[in-house]
Amino acid sequence: MEGQRSRESTATNSDHAPPLLHTLTPSRRTVPNRVFAAVYICVITALFYRHVQTILHSTTLISFSLTLALFVSDLILAFLWVSAHSFRVRPVYRKEYPENIEKFLEPSDFPGLDIFIFTTDPYLEPPTRVVNTALSVMAYEYPTDKISIYVSDDGGSALSLFAFMEAAKFAAHWLPFFEFFDDPDINRCMPIDITMLFVNDQVLLNKNRDRDITGHCLPNLVYVSRQKSPTSPYNFKAGALNVRVLAAMTNAPIILTLDCDMYSNDPRTPFRALCYVLDPAEIQNRLAFVQFPQQFHGLNESEIHGSEHRRLFKLNPFGLDGLSEPNYLGTGCFIHRRALLGDPSTLVPPVIKEISPAHIANNPITAPSVLEFAHRLAGCHYENQTEWGSKIGFRYGSLVEDFFTGFRLQCEEWRSIFCNPEKAAFLGNAPINFRDFLGQNKRWQIGLLEAASS
Ligand SMILES: O=c1ccn([C@@H]2O[C@H](COP(=O)(O)OP(=O)(O)O[C@H]3O[C@H](CO)[C@@H](O)[C@H](O)[C@H]3O)[C@@H](O)[C@H]2O)c(=O)[nH]1
Ligand SMILES: [Mn+2]
């Protein structure tokens, strides 16, 4: 595939060559899989030939209808087989070399990273968990002044806001000591005492103002709760994803989207994503996003519902990666902001220049003009008469906005990459009872039908 370096390139990497950022190895099962597919297609063709012959020579109406019904059933089974086997035509495995990133680019030249965390219901998604997710990404080993964290609270909960105000204070004490903890569980077992209080302030940490107890700067931390109105469509998570506050405030070229029930398990994950995002060959190959698998913790051995969805979240993406088209899974995904603004050759102007990719957000995020503008963008009428949700941004019209948006980007000839490091980059919560499992699957199936009929 164009732009991808094979494993052999490791051997030829000399001192003068650019540092090796990643390798790609096709699966050893590719050839047997293809031979199997060829044999299977021959058998299916013979079966169809026989069906057609029988239909043409049937003498009674009953035999005609029976053979026709069998033929239609076999057609459906063949379609299912073709769609399942396409994942096995070219599975590939990737490896990144994040340790080479600093040889490739000075840390001061690393791109900005806007991290977007979503929450809706403080009772179903306890604020301590959402706070833990935010703290886990604040601890990224990435230049702090390049990171901005935005928390989107669709529940507009005072409790969540207060939890984040406490978290902002806690971060100043905790982040300097993060590196001393070896225990990977540390991210999810931090007790934070929460009491109810309502304060209407959005910027909780400002990198130009706030320091940790050792004097180092802290990343920006911004709480966003978009306006809702009975007369404007709400569009669920896709609507939250399209809140352009982050573009107006920091406008980083890379966005990481993260569900509140999924925390970072490896502080070096951004470097892994940079191995692809900064590679000129991948940029030329129209890279839109780098997706990490959804992996879960806390599932016990008697978990019988298959909530982990290993095929969906881990096995199928290997197959799709070989075809340059792994799906967007909604969380744990680094996206080029440019990919959300039209196809690779045509930039669709996003109405106001402050949220176009070329805009450099120089003003401090607490400047009154920036805050006022951010409020306007979080308003529910901003999108009226614009192309947000149809041609630009995350796409509306399906409950599985992640799959739908990724699919539409791929239709626009953007490409994607699946990155599956040995140490899980993110760990999340899967439904652990049958009712939640059914609810989630029902939502997904309806969303897929909406996407198919759009
Ligand atoms: O109106 C809404 C509804 C949901 N969310 C957030 O979206 C995320 C995902 O919702 P969840 O209820 O956890 O759905 P899951 O089925 O667990 O999520 C999977 O499926 C969703 C699509 O249905 C994707 O958006 C997710 O990324 C993917 O992990 C959570 O952080 C929610 O807080 C919002 O921000 N606004
Ligand atoms: Mn979830």
CA distances from 354 to 154, 219, 348, 378 (A): 24, 21, 14, 14
| Catalytic annotation, pick one of 114, 153, 154, 279 | 154
Answer yes or no: is the C-beta of 430 below 6 A from any ligand 1 atom: no
Of 131-145, 173-187, 375-389, the range with the lowest mean pLDDT is: 173-187
For residues 50 and 71, what is the distance between their CA atoms, to the nearest angstrom? 10
**What is the Å distance from ligand 1's center to 81 Cα?**
30
Q: Is 402 a catalytic residue?
A: yes
What is the per-residue pLDDT for 202? 62
Closest CA to 329 of 296, 290, 299: 290
Is residue 125 part of an annotated ligand binding site?
Answer: yes
Highest mean pLDDT among 39-43, 197-201, 238-242: 39-43
For residues 446 and 364, what is the distance between their CA atoms, to the nearest angstrom? 43
Question: Taking 80 as the threshold, does the pLDDT of residue 152 lie above it?
Answer: yes
**What is the Å distance from ligand 2's center to 206 Cα?**
29
Which atom of ligand 1 lies at the shortest distance from residue 119's CA? 33
What is the bridge-based pairing of β-strands 203-205 and 220-224? antiparallel
What is the per-residue pLDDT for 451? 93
What is the per-residue pLDDT for 3? 42
pLDDT (average), residues 274-292: 94
pLDDT (average), residues 398-406: 95
How many other C-beta atoms can be found within 10 angstroms of the C-beta atom of residue 27? 16
What is the bridge-based pairing of β-strands 147-153 and 113-119? parallel
What is the per-residue pLDDT for 206? 81
Atom 23 (ligand 1): residue with closest C-alpha?
Answer: 400
pLDDT (average), residues 187-209: 48
For residues 395 and 392, what is the distance between their CA atoms, to the nearest angstrom? 7
Question: Taking 70 as the threshold, does the pLDDT of residue 59 lie above it?
Answer: yes
Question: Taking 50 as the threshold, does the pLDDT of residue 116 lie above it?
Answer: yes
Which numbered ligand comes closest to the C-alpha of 294? 1
Q: Quick one: pLDDT band at residue 231, thresholds 50, 70, 90?
A: confident
Q: Are 243 and 154 in contact (CB under 8 A)?
A: no
What is the per-residue pLDDT for 368? 85
Nearby residues of 246 by Cβ (< 8 Å), 6 or more positions away: 114, 116, 148, 150, 222, 252, 255
What is the bridge-based pairing of β-strands 426-428 and 262-264? antiparallel
Answer yes or no: is the C-beta of 132 below 6 A from any ligand 1 atom: no
Average pLDDT score, the chain: 86
What is the per-residue pLDDT for 260? 95
Superfamily of domain 98-453: Spore Coat Polysaccharide Biosynthesis Protein SpsA; Chain A (3.90.550.10)
Atom 34 (ligand 1): residue with closest C-alpha?
Answer: 237
Q: Quick one: pLDDT band at residue 188, thresholds 50, 70, 90?
A: very low
Which comes out higher in pLDDT, residue 244 or 87? 87
Which numbered ligand comes closest to the C-alpha of 406? 1
Q: Quick one: pLDDT band at residue 423, thresholds 50, 70, 90?
A: very high
Grouping H, G, I as helix, E, B as strand and the rest as coil, residue 222 is strand
Q: Is 15 a catalytic residue?
A: no
SS3 content of the chain, % helix, strand, coil (to 5): 45, 15, 45
Grouping H, G, I as helix, E, B as strand and the rest as coil, residue 147 is strand
Question: Taking 80 as the threshold, does the pLDDT of residue 13 lie above it?
Answer: no
